[in-house]
Amino acid sequence: MNVIETKKLTKYYGKSRGIENVDLTVEQGEIFGFIGPNGAGKSTTIRTLLGLIHPTSGSATIFGKDIKEFGPEIREEVGYLPSEVFYYDNMRAIDLLRYSASFYKKPKKDIEKRINELAKLLDLDLKKKIDDLSYGNKKKVGIIQGLLHEPKLIILDEPTGGLDPLMQQKFFQLLRDENKRGATILFSSHILGEVQKMCDRVAIIKDGTIIKTEKISDLLENNTKRFKVETVKEIDEKVFSSINGVSDTVRVGREINFLFRGHLDDVTKKIAELDLLNLEVTEPDLEEIFLHYYK
């Protein structure tokens, strides 16, 4: 079953583009990455799914229910953590969380227990006023707030800002546990490393349009290799850049660097003709592939 399915989802703010014809399918139980630079349309997509903004055209369903018709019903089972959290400053963390809990149908006792568990895990003092919490601690309130009702779908919009590396790890572990419990996760980020670490599949969004949806493993495989060729004599980089599938060619002295996607033979044949000093073939990281899409 698809937990999220959007069809040609489009949002214009007046004349300026938010997103255009976004087709997104997130399957039950997966951790789905949503990557793109700031302003690409990640937040717009997410906010549309949550009913915060209204789509200009197209449609979307969550749990098979239309987002426009069944908003409250859908949100009963959705946990949301935005990049920056804002709460009522004069409330204590625990009051805020209880207020948050009061919106859900789940038994009070269960939620209360979970709040305390999560607070302990994240090392958060619940008695403090929101106003007195540091940025990172506010974020922890946000995490608890998003997870306290054990949602079936967790939507994270650039969630890691403000968390120190240790807390980030705890947070990721928490998400993995939630995922094992059966929660589907939509994870939006512009930090590729974390998406690479967490996600099964990933959609890349650029200028409001999804340009590719792939399995992380495929994206990393896909026969894309990074080549570093060092030759005895300086050679023209056109030897490689003329090959179909080569990109990002950079020559520094006698060293030529490029990305290659295609039949490896095409490159190795060329290399065989050269007087080599050194040769390195590595897996490009997601960042490199990503940059490639953004050319």
Binding site for other proteins (CB under 8 A): 13, 43, 47, 50-54, 71-76, 78, 80, 82-89, 99-100, 102-105, 145
CB nearer to other proteins: give 90 or 223: 90
Q: CA-CA distance, 56 to 59, in Å (whole number)?
A: 9
Which residue lies nearer to other proteins by CB, 99 or 294? 99
Q: How many residues does the chain have?
A: 295
By C-beta, is 4 or 267 nearer to other proteins?
4
Give bridge partners of residue 247 from the DSSP assignment.
259
Contacts of 239-242 spanning 24+ positions with Cβ under 8 A = 239/270, 239/274, 240/267, 240/270
- CB of residue 4 to other proteins, shortest distance in Å: 15
Least spacing, CB of residue 72 vs other proteins, in Å: 5
Least Å distance between CB 235 and other proteins?
50
Q: Let me know: does 95 contact 79? Beta carbons within 8 Å.
A: no
Residues 6+ apart with CB under 8 A from 234: 253, 254
Give the shortest CB-27-to-other proteins separation in angstroms: 22
Which residue's CB is nearer to other proteins, number 102 or number 244? 102
DSSP string, 269-290: HHHHTS-EEEEEEEPPPHHHHH
**What six digits make up the tokens of 24?**
């997104």
Smallest separation (angstroms) from other proteins to the CB of 85:
8
Minimum gap (Å) between residue 188 Cβ and other proteins: 12
Q: How many CB atoms lie within 10 A of CB 160?
A: 19
**For residues 69 and 265, which CB has a smaller minimum distance to other proteins in the complex?**
69
Which two three-digit tokens encode residue 74? 């859908």
Cβ distance to other proteins smaller for residue 53 or 191: 53
